[in-house]
Structure 1
Amino acid sequence: MGLRVDLTFDCVAAGPLAQFWKVVLGYEDEPPPAPFATREEWVASFGEPEEGEGGGAWLRDPAGVGPRLVFLEVPEPKVAKNRLHLDVRVGRGPDAWARVEAKAASLVAVGGRVLATVAGHHVVMADPEGNEFCVAA
């Protein structure tokens, strides 16, 4: 069996953050593992949650190419800049910058923020919880 990489994000509100990243990447909710009918049933199979343990959300690439994304609610707030960020690539070509700008604008409409623009190259953004990422060709 080959290796794969999942990306797990600690966050304050898993549901809304997962919704944002579904728009960013075109991902979908990942179904629960068999034999569970719902994620809630799967989570309950682990027993009572620890104090301060929150919910979660699981996303997958419908094409099966990109990494699985997991959002887990934690009680502590983010205190420093992330040491890792994602680059969302929209593709190269003659209209690449227009696609970068359009993608950035669509993400602002669903809760993202533009932090900086390097014209003709990339847009630095933040998701609703302040995690930085770039939109680039």
Structure 2
Amino acid sequence: MRIGLTFDCTDARAQAAFWAVALDYEPAPPPEGWDTWEAWLVHFEVPEDEWDDGASIQDPAGVRPKVTFLRVPEPKTAKNRLHLDLWVSGGRHVDAGVREPLIRAKAEQLVALGATVVEEGVGPQGLDHYVLRDPEGNEFCVV
């Protein structure tokens, strides 16, 4: 069995672009047998006004789950019940002097793309993690 992750959102393409950088993913290619997404959409008679309703990204190595973004009419209204942790630092067993710059660099990269910092988690060894929100308000952590 394979799994995928799906985000409801208001701008599927923008969310896909943000998360592609956050996860080191790439845009998903069209389904096998199709040269372009447009050709696939035309074949299945998807109305043109729905062509921006979804976007997908994938792990270039094909190991991690595919992530899909679907446009929905309502905005996010409450805290996530599930969130992603982006493990960039190697874990708490790694020296804080090594971990902190990795955590800060990834958080700064994502803030430059529209994320906002919610909380800086500092523990006895120094910076442990950041809690951020993506451009549509979904919480996630950089650890």
Task: Report the TM-score, using the length of structure 1 for normalisation.
Answer: 0.88
> Which runs of 5 or more structure 2 residues have no equivalent in the other structure?
none
> Which runs of 5 or more structure 1 residues have no equivalent in the other structure?
none
> Which of 114, 118, 137 is the equivalent residue of 1:115?
118
Is the contact between residue 133 and residue 140 of structure 2 (CA under 8 Å) also seen in structure 1? yes
Letter aligned with residue 131 of structure 1: N
Deviations 1:93-124 (A, max 9, x none): 33012100111011111111100011221100
Paired position in structure 1 for 2:26: 28
Is the contact between residue 60 and residue 68 of structure 1 (CA under 8 Å) also seen in structure 2? yes
Is the contact between residue 27 and residue 60 of structure 1 (CA under 8 Å) also seen in structure 2? yes
Paired position in structure 1 for 2:63: 65
Task: Report the TM-score, using the length of structure 2 for normalisation.
Answer: 0.85
Q: Secondary structure at the match of 2:32?
A: coil
Is the contact between residue 54 and residue 74 of structure 1 (CA under 8 Å) also seen in structure 2? no
Q: Secondary structure at the match of 2:120?
A: strand
Letter aligned with residue 133 of structure 2: A
Distance 1:78 1:118, change over 3 A: same
Q: What's the Cα RMSD here?
A: 1.8
Deviations 1:18-48 (A, max 9, x none): 1111111110011111222212222334434
> How many residues get paired?
133
Task: Give the CA deviation at 1:65.
Answer: 1.6
Is the contact between residue 41 and residue 51 of structure 2 (CA under 8 Å) also seen in structure 1? no
